[in-house]
């Protein structure tokens, strides 16, 4: 996980080109999604984190975005156990 507040925009673009960053997330809400997601683009820089993979995001306790990752979100929601 890479915090957006720890790197500048040029380094972010470089990591995207090298495929070191594939997904973005909101560290406060614990939601991740695609880099082009409209919801993700609205979040504050200090809340934004980046992941290399879906597995990395889930391992860190994040859930898929319901807007840009509908299928993954539905799987997560259907597998979620309500207490």
- pLDDT mean by block of 10 residues, the chain; 83 residues: 93 94 96 93 93 95 95 88 47
CATH number at residue 69: 3.40.10.10
Containing domain of residue 22, as a range? 2-79
Per the CB < 8 A criterion, the answer to whether 76 and 64 are in contact is: yes
Looking at residue 39, its pLDDT comes to 86
- Antiparallel, parallel or unpaired: β 63-64 and 31-34: parallel
Statement: the pTM of the whole predicted model exceeds 0.85: yes
Evaluate the CA torsion angle 14, 16, 19, 23 in order and state its sign: positive
Domain total in the chain: 1
The single residue listed with the structure tokens 């807007």 is 67
Q: For residue 50, what is the enclosing H or E element?
A: strand 48-51
**In 3-state terms, what secondary structure has residue 3?**
strand
Looking at residue 64, its pLDDT comes to 96
């Amino acid at each position: 996980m890479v915090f957006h507040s720890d790197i500048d925009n040029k380094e972010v673009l470089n990591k995207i080109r090298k495929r070191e960053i594939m997904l973005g997330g909101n560290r406060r809400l614990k939601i991740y999604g695609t880099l082009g997601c409209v919801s993700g683009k609205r979040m504050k820089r200090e809340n934004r984190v980046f992941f290399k993979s879906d597995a990395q995001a889930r391992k860190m306790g994040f859930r898929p975005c319901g807007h840009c990752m509908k299928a993954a979100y539905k799987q997560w929601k259907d597998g979620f156990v309500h207490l």
